[in-house]
Structures are given as structure tokens and as C-alpha cells.
Structure 1
């Protein structure tokens, strides 16, 4: 059995219902460096500011794998629970992020792409550094071998060959995690956040948990083959933005229509049906990436049609929806991501 760091044992295993939380916001980072691409980076100073805020305001930073297991088995988390993750195995996580995490006693998860690690790329972690990080709450999970666009066919590749390649990308990392680090948490972050029904079916069959790049909060009702996280770097690195996300709750959705994975030349549209309850529906707001507010048309008291005014350009587009709870202290949050493909990209859309 894997031993848990003392800090984890003191925060994750809350009993009783006092101050219990049934959901988990998860923070997503990439680089911790001031000289790397801003869109995926926080400076060491910004990262320390984030971690200091979590510590000073009583947030309970949990081991991700353990927290998800508790949510799925109806065991409460502590109030103000949160988890910290990184995508890609960048060396600056070890150099600039790890000392801060260690100082604060925070567990964390790094989703690693093993290709550059095995090649000894100087900008990526080594297995010995990861072993050191494990001793202070670090957990390492799957981000594929080569960080591909997982839904694209290679030149001349059949769908059957694509399926086998995707399986191998995942399986090779799982084997390395076990042989090099002793275990795998059986979690994967999809490169670029992209997955489809076939990939998510594969992940479920392997008994794994998958993460996309849509924002939101994890609850028992989430799709555990495509869980949300909150980006906390680049334009989202401001502490004021982070505070709102840390107070987020899962949108109380009963059903989603026309969410899907792919967009066409037509504007995207989806229908959200809320669970029975009293909500501040007049304050529900949805934003379309690059366009501003979405059009909202309430079909009835519980179901709203959310529609973009324009089609997405080629690439990934999203709609984020938020609504204050009755207290006004928290926001319900939901996000859906679509991929608008180009023919030459050879996406597998089924």
C-alpha cells in the first residue's frame, strides 16, 4: 500500500459532516517560470502568492487521487478542499515550484509526458527528481508519451491503427510509472484537453480517471473520464481570479443536450437543465470564448438554451457559465469545450 505524507493524512481523512464539502476545485499549472510562454506560465513570485493565500486562508490542499476516491464513495472532504496539478514534466516545476510546495507541506500531482524524459531533455524532469518529489507529497500521472493531438490520424493511418497507437501512448506511460516510481494513480490528463467517446471509453476500460481542459468543479456527478480543472496561469494568474475559482461550486445540472465534442460552421448551442431547487437563475451568465456573452433562452423554469452568436474558428472554443448561489459567496460553474476541425487535421470525430 502506498504511504501517504503526514500532511495528506491530516487533511484528507475528515469524518462526520461538520464543515464537509462534496466537491473539489482543482488548479492546473504548467510552467513555474518568468521566462517561459506567458499563456501557460506563472512566475515563481505569483506561484508563491497563490500558495501563501491557500495556507493563510485555511484551504485544505489534498492529494488528488485520494480526494477523487472519497468523492466517488460519498465520503466528505474538508471544507475549503482543493487540489494542485501540473501538466507536462517541466524542470522548472522542480526548480521553482517544488520548493514552495514543500515549504507549505502541500501534496500535488504532475501529469508527465515521458518521451522527453526518456530522451534526457534538459528542460524536463528526471526520474531521480521525481523520486525526490514523491517523498514530499508529489504524485506522477499520465500525460502520454509524445503529447500528441490524440484525436488526429497520422498520414496514411487507419482508424484501427489510430486506436492502437492511442492505447500504446497511454500504456507505455503507465508501465514506466510503475517501473520507475513504483506505482501509478491511474489518472491521465489529455494533451490539449482533447478526447472523444472512443478515447474516454478506453480510459474507463483501463480503470483510469481522465482530465480535460474545461473549467469547473468536480463532484460525484462529474464524468470521471473527462473531469474539469481551473487554469491558474497566464491570464488566470491574478489572485482575484483565483479567489473566485476557489469558491466555485459545481453547476447543479440535471441534463445537457447538444454539448458534444465537435463544432461545425454553425454557432454552437446547448441546453442545460438544472436540478430541482431554488436558484438565482436571473443571474446565470454564459460567456463564449472570443465573443462575449452567449444568448440565453429559457425553455422553462429549469432549462435554458445557451447559444453562441458566431461560429468558432478552427481550434478549441468554449462556453463558461456561472451563477451565484443563494448566499452570494460562491458561484456555480460549468464549462463546455468544442473542437472546430479543419479537413487537413484528419480528426477522428466518432
Structure 2
């Protein structure tokens, strides 16, 4: 598999005469707000209230996601302690249990909706009337595809061209529904299961959209706006102590990244990072491989490091997360990358190329 270089947009350095209150944005990702849904994608209403109360008491500025991203791209400063709140899937418990809490605090939020269950009038999912009500108090609704598919898997007998046409329709159907029922779309997408490849990301860019994966990290002007990071804040990540660390995270100061591509094989993955010029605590950099512990670090030169897994990932998604304290010790730089290890019977597009 040939190495893929991720283009890090916006390499220009701002003049030192311009002081940015904050030029980056941590984004929280939720799904269910319920004590009776699968724990892996849920947190209880009480836990969610605790998160929102902490944001308010600690002075975090909760921003409208779409506007904040436009500001970052245009070099417009964000307020200090800026953060955004998002939800994936159109679960009704967001309206029942999460919305009243956010409304109390006046926090804007974004819900990425898959519209098939809404069309089917599934009682566990939002209605358009509920979404219109939520819009009146800071809610924004964006694209999570029509049927929530694994976007990189071919259907039986499907050609590559047919697959890409089907994925294009998955996006278009939601955009049409948003315009028809709400009158507008923010042109943002959350990839189902966080999965995308170069073709899907190219499709996003052609449509003038912004999209999110499921890798953790902080958005900055250097980010890939067709595959932005967010911090999961439910399930194993619902503890307030770990959330505080993420809320104070900064983007890793990288000039270049090489990942080897979107897919993992039967060999261990490797991540090569080249740091921008600057004063950093590089000796305190630590990288962790999902399910394996610390990654081995090999410094190629004074600014370039290779982080390597010890063994191959199993079938599914695996990642390497890297953190490094800043010079003050009050914040952590953060970067994460996700790979997909396809199963032999899963019919991923990588297996047909």
C-alpha cells in the first residue's frame, strides 16, 4: 500500500502582531442522552447535565459549529475557551433529555441526522416538528446520510461506479430533506462510523461541504475540512475528569503527516509526524495504540517521529492517539488517526481496487 500524505491546509503563519484569543476548536460528540440505551454510545441525563453545568461554570464559550468553522477557515478569532456541541443520529432522547438542559444554558448545538428512520416515522427518532422547535433555541441539523451505511462497503454485485453513485445519493437525499423541511442546510456531514476514503472526501469537497470522522483531536486552520476530528464524550469517555483534559486540548503543531492510507493490513500500522518549527516538549510526546498500549517512537530527525504499533490491528477500526503537553503544562497538544482493517467478507472498496 503506497504512502498517503495528508495535506494540512493553511500553512501560512499569522503575523506575530495579531493576537488570537483562540484559533482552534474542540468539538464534543454525543449520541444518546439516556440511561437505557447502549452504554457505548450513551450517557445518562444526569451525566449530560454535569457536562453542561461544567461548561457554564468554567466559562467555556459554546459556539454555533458552522459559524465557528467558517471563522477558523477565514482566520477570524474565536473567544477564549471556545467549544462546540454535536450529536450523531436523530435520536428522540436528544430532544427529550438533552435539549431541555442545553436550552437552560442557551447553548447552541448541531445534530447530524440520518433521515430514513424519520421518513419511516420511527418513534425513537426525531420528527421535523421537534427539529423546528429545537432550531428556535440554537439547534442546527446536518447530514448523517439517509440510511447510515458503511460508506466504504460495496453491496453484492455492485460496481465501483454504482457504489459511488449510491453514496452520492445518500448525501443528496438528506440535503434535499433538510431544504424541504427546514428551509436550509449547513452543508456539513458526519460520516457514519467515521469511515471515508479519498473518493468520498473528494465528493465532499466538490459539493462544498465540511465533514467529520471519528478520530479525536482539535480543529484548526491546518485541519482537513473533509475529515475533521471530534472528541467522543459518552460511554467510556463520559467521565468529567477526562472531558476536562479534552476541553483544554490544542491541535498538534504538525507540518506533515504520513499514515500509509485509510486501510490497515496484516502488518502493524505506522504514523509519521513532522512538527512545525517552534519550541515544544517533544521528549514528552506519547502515542497510544488502541488495544496495545504505548506506541514505539523512532525519531527520524529533530522534527520527525515515527509512531509504530507493535502488532497488526484486528478486523474493524483501530487508531493511534498522540498527546504532548504544551510549554505551560496546562494544555495538551492532541492528534489521532484511524485505520480500517477490512474483514475478508465485508466487501470494502479497498478489496476491489
Q: Which residue of 2 aligns with 1:64?
A: 65
Q: Which residue of 2 aligns with 1:25?
A: 26
When the two structures are superposed, what TM-score results if normalisation uses the length of structure 2? 0.94
When the two structures are superposed, what TM-score results if normalisation uses the length of structure 1? 0.95
Q: Which residue of 1 aligns with 2:98?
A: 97
Q: Which residue of 2 aligns with 1:294?
A: 295
User: Cα RMSD between the aligned structures?
Assistant: 1.0
Is residue 2:106 matched to residue 1:112? no
Q: Cα distance, 1:259 vs. partner?
A: 4.5
Q: Which residue of 2 aligns with 1:169?
A: 170
Q: Give the 3 Å change call, closer, same or farther, for CA 144–340 of structure 1 in structure 2.
A: same
Q: Cα distance, 1:342 vs. partner?
A: 1.4
Q: Give the 3 Å change call, closer, same or farther, for CA 303–50 of structure 1 in structure 2.
A: same
Retained in 1: the 8 A contact 2:145–2:170? yes
Return the alpha-carbon distance in structure 2 between the equivalents of residues 257 and 132 of structure 1: 44
Q: Which residue of 2 aligns with 1:248?
A: 249
Q: Which residue of 2 aligns with 1:341?
A: 342
Return the alpha-carbon distance in structure 2 between the equivalents of residues 149 and 35 of structure 1: 25
Return the alpha-carbon distance in structure 2 between the equivalents of residues 146 and 42 of structure 1: 24
Any gaps of 5 or more consecutive residues in structure 1?
A: 1-15
Q: Which residue of 1 aligns with 2:284?
A: 283
Return the alpha-carbon distance in structure 1 between the equivalents of residues 18 and 76 of structure 2: 9
Return the alpha-carbon distance in structure 1 between the equivalents of residues 234 and 262 of structure 2: 24
Q: Cα distance, 1:273 vs. partner?
A: 0.3
Q: Which residue of 1 aligns with 2:129?
A: 128
Aligned length: 335
State the Cα deviation string for residues 303-325 of structure 1 (Å, max 9, x = none): 00100001000000000000000
Q: Cα distance, 1:18 vs. partner?
A: 6.2
**3-state SS in 1 of match to 2:324:** strand
Q: Give the 3 Å change call, closer, same or farther, for CA 17–46 of structure 1 in structure 2.
A: farther
Return the alpha-carbon distance in structure 1 between the equivalents of residues 297 and 346 of structure 2: 32
State the Cα deviation string for residues 225-259 of structure 1 (Å, max 9, x = none): 00000000000000000000000000001111234
Retained in 2: the 8 A contact 1:17–1:76? no
Q: Cα distance, 1:19 vs. partner?
A: 6.4
Q: Cα distance, 1:114 vs. partner?
A: 0.0
Return the alpha-carbon distance in structure 1 between the equivalents of residues 130 and 18 of structure 2: 39
Return the alpha-carbon distance in structure 2 between the equivalents of residues 27 and 346 of structure 1: 32
Retained in 2: the 8 A contact 1:259–1:336? no
**3-state SS in 1 of match to 2:229:** coil
**3-state SS in 2 of match to 1:210:** strand
Q: Give the 3 Å change call, closer, same or farther, for CA 303–210 of structure 1 in structure 2.
A: same
Q: Which residue of 1 aligns with 2:146?
A: 145
Q: Which residue of 2 aligns with 1:322?
A: 323
Is residue 2:215 matched to residue 1:210? no
Q: Which residue of 1 aligns with 2:157?
A: 156
State the Cα deviation string for residues 308-348 of structure 1 (Å, max 9, x = none): 00100000000000000000000000000000011211111
Q: Cα distance, 1:17 vs. partner?
A: 6.2
Return the alpha-carbon distance in structure 2 between the equivalents of residues 38 and 248 of structure 1: 25
Return the alpha-carbon distance in structure 2 between the equivalents of residues 343 and 314 of structure 1: 9
Q: Give the 3 Å change call, closer, same or farther, for CA 281–18 of structure 1 in structure 2.
A: closer
